[in-house]
A and B are shown apart, each in its own frame.
Chain A
Amino acid sequence: MDKTMDDIIREGNAYACIQCGRCTGSCPSGRECGLRTRKIIHMARVGIDVFKTEELWDCTTCFTCQERCPKEVKITDIIIELRNLAVKNSYYPSMADVPKIIIQNLYRTGNGQPLSPEVSKLRSIIGLDKEPNDIAKDKEALADFQKLLDGLPLMRWGGI
């Protein structure tokens, strides 16, 4: 189900953008960095390979821009799709490296944020099971989960 730039522009209504700038004006991240949401949408709709820009990874996906866009441009959805496209084209900057560890954890334990021995101790102090009653504990479920992940595209693109 790989999407092309064209699909992303069309499905996200990017062509309808009137460059009003309400998105950038709303963006909590752009206030602190070089992310210009409007510009991302503009670059996308005029056919620039915007998935190569690093600013794409500055978005916290807070959806404020998408909520306020008067033209119903699905801005945040587009940003996420563009990131997918970037990953598929091996175009992710260094900051996207850290999440790789999270993906490795996910595969190994079923949780992006795995249990540490310290927290396990803390859990028992406050009267919880040492280990949460979840996938990490249920070996059968974890094996299935890994089998599921093995066949999913993330493992192909995530470069793990």
Chain B
Amino acid sequence: MDYAFFPGCIAKNVYPGIEKATRIVFEKMNVGLHDYPYSCCPPPGVVACYDKDTWYALGARNLALSEPDNRDIMTICAGCYGTLHNVWHELQHNDAKRAYVNEHLGRIGMTYKGTSRPIHFVDLLDGMRDTITQNKEVDLDLRVAVHYGCHYLKPTTVTGENSESPMLLDEIVGLVGCKSIPFKDRLTCCGAGGGVMSGEPELSLKIMERKLKNIKKADVDCIVNICSFCHMNFDQSQKKLESFDIPVLHLNQLLGLAFGVKHKHLGLHMNLVSTRDLVKKVKGAKKGRDEE
């Protein structure tokens, strides 16, 4: 299997541990990831909210890059996925928009065909459950709070997901020995999207605070997300709020731990909220296994 790899700007330029973890984990699972001169998705909360047509055109440029190689595009962020998948979906149906986009891409000698599909990596993992189990070296035995991310699930008319009671992520963390702990309002937004985190940080923080309170009540070892943007919000907000210290892991970092990768290679130490205790706990688990 081969994919064009769309890391997105947060995983590249803010939390590179996520990019690294993804590369390691997918290499272990024998999935080839290929780089392209991608721009950022562009961000739905900013570009789409300012001018949707620009959003379509820039999104289409990214989508078109791997078309000559016939590669689908793997994203590791719900925001990137939201942009690329929505753009792809719209251009699939809307001929006028497609013509518009191609008119502009034509100016730089590109065309958009729609032959490369964006895929969220969790959907990819869904079909690789056996591979995950085969690569598992450590049974993590953690209590985790999973966070799906709005734009991975919704709008369902585009994503085709079940937005009210999804189980996929819960099942995947289960494969590496983690227990997904239910908590109140587990599916609500983290508060980052729509330009709110940058435009109205206080509002964003309030939404996040409520969310963190609910997670804290569930008494978990860490938060697991499938979106670099949510990841950044969870990690940075806890520092701002000061009253929380729940480690935040992107699913690929969690998988990395389970695959026996050293936490430093996964960039866990770069999080603002310390992951030290968590890493200790996992090491303990590994030791326990080794001694068996």
In the bound complex, CA of A33 to CA of B207 (Å): 10
Contact A148 B192 (CB under 8 A): no
**Does B58 make an interface contact (CB < 8 A)?**
yes
- Report the nearest B residue to A74, measured CB to CB: B155
**Does A91 make an interface contact (CB < 8 A)?**
no
**Does A87 make an interface contact (CB < 8 A)?**
yes
Contact B155 A76 (CB under 8 A): yes
Contact B12 A134 (CB under 8 A): yes
Chain B residues within an 8 Å CB radius of A152 = 51, 53-54, 57-58, 104
Known: A58-B200, A98-B199. A122 touches B270 (CB 8 A): yes
Contact A113 B52 (CB under 8 A): no
Contact A62 B188 (CB under 8 A): yes
- Report the nearest B residue to A26, measured CB to CB: B188
In the bound complex, CA of A47 to CA of B105 (Å): 36
**1/0 per residue A53-69: CB within 8 Å of B?**
00001111111101100
A: contact size bracket:
35 or more
Contact A148 B100 (CB under 8 A): no
Chain B residues within an 8 Å CB radius of A33 = 203, 206
- Report the nearest B residue to A132, measured CB to CB: B12
- B121-164: which residues lie under 8 A (CB-CB) from chain A? 150-151, 153-156, 163-164
Contact B17 A126 (CB under 8 A): yes
B: contact size bracket:
35 or more
* Min distance, Cβ B28 to any Cβ of chain A, angstroms: 15
Contact A84 B49 (CB under 8 A): yes
**Does B114 make an interface contact (CB < 8 A)?**
no
In the bound complex, CA of A83 to CA of B109 (Å): 31
**Does B181 make an interface contact (CB < 8 A)?**
no
Contact B50 A126 (CB under 8 A): no
- Report the nearest A residue to B149, measured CB to CB: A62
Contact B107 A151 (CB under 8 A): yes
Chain A residues within an 8 Å CB radius of B105 = 148
Known: A1-B100, A80-B52, A115-B13. A60 touches B47 (CB 8 A): no
Known: A106-B47, A132-B19. A61 touches B40 (CB 8 A): no
Contact B13 A111 (CB under 8 A): yes
In the bound complex, CA of A52 to CA of B200 (Å): 17
In the bound complex, CA of A115 to CA of B10 (Å): 9
Chain A residues within an 8 Å CB radius of B156 = 67
In the bound complex, CA of A63 to CA of B13 (Å): 27
**Does A20 make an interface contact (CB < 8 A)?**
no
Known: A64-B150, A99-B50. A59 touches B12 (CB 8 A): no
Chain A residues within an 8 Å CB radius of B47 = 103, 106, 112, 154
In the bound complex, CA of A126 to CA of B11 (Å): 13
In the bound complex, CA of A37 to CA of B194 (Å): 14
Known: A60-B207, A122-B16. A96 touches B196 (CB 8 A): no
Partner of B193, one of A31, A60, A112, A115: A60
Chain B residues within an 8 Å CB radius of A154 = 47, 50-51, 53-54
Chain B residues within an 8 Å CB radius of A114 = 9, 13
**Does A128 make an interface contact (CB < 8 A)?**
yes
In the bound complex, CA of A28 to CA of B58 (Å): 29
**1/0 per residue A71-85: CB within 8 Å of B?**
000001100110110
**Does B189 make an interface contact (CB < 8 A)?**
yes
Chain B residues within an 8 Å CB radius of A63 = 150-151, 153-155, 163
In the bound complex, CA of A59 to CA of B16 (Å): 28
Q: Give 8 pairs: A residue, B residue, CB < 8 Å, sorted on A.
A: A32-B203, A60-B189, A63-B153, A80-B49, A80-B52, A106-B42, A114-B13, A126-B265
